[in-house]
Amino acid sequence: MLGSGPAKVLWVETPSNPLMKISDIRALADLGHAAGATVVVDNTFASPYLQQPLTLGADVVVHSTTKYLGGHSDVLGGAVVLDDDALAEKVGFLQFAVGAVSGPMDAWLTTRGIKTLAVRVERHSANAEEIAAFLQQHPDVTAVHYPGLPEHPATTSPRPR
């Protein structure tokens, strides 16, 4: 929660894990920037195929490349995405100083996974929609958290994402 004083970082995970809550990135970016914060969005669940936080006001986007980007459960890594040269220089200096870089094989595996990201996310989304609809009707299931359902708060909210 942003307090009355300045903030260094506003960290947003959207969709959230595990309840799939959707945050209004543009509104949170405005709040964060007003408080002097760098706005960081963890975009692991959505992937860049479904959501591009930099276009919504985020300063930094992070991804676990182990999940959707890698796509084959054979890589461990992460990605930091920036479009601000000064911030990129600071991150690059820190990265160089502490050695936080992927090895060549992990980088190659991630690149391989990115090539099939679109087809995988399309299939995941279609399958998830069918499974969510099925579970929503099942008598033993009390709640289904899936942003694609008509009743999900992300679907019924008038605010842009």
Closest CA to 59 of 12, 22, 120, 128: 12
* Domain locations along the chain: 9-156
Pairing of strands 78-82, 60-64: antiparallel
Distances from the Cα of 121 to the Cαs of 21, 69, 75, 116, in angstroms? 19, 10, 18, 9
Tally helices (H) and strands (E) across the chain. 6, 4
pLDDT tier, 155 (very low <50, low <70, confident <90, very high otherwise): low
Closest CA to 75 of 105, 42, 114, 44: 105
Task: Report domain 9-156's class.
Answer: alpha beta
Q: What is the mean pLDDT of the chain?
A: 92
- For the stretch 58-104, pLDDT in tens is 999 999 999 999 999 999 999 999 999 999 999 999 998 998 888 99
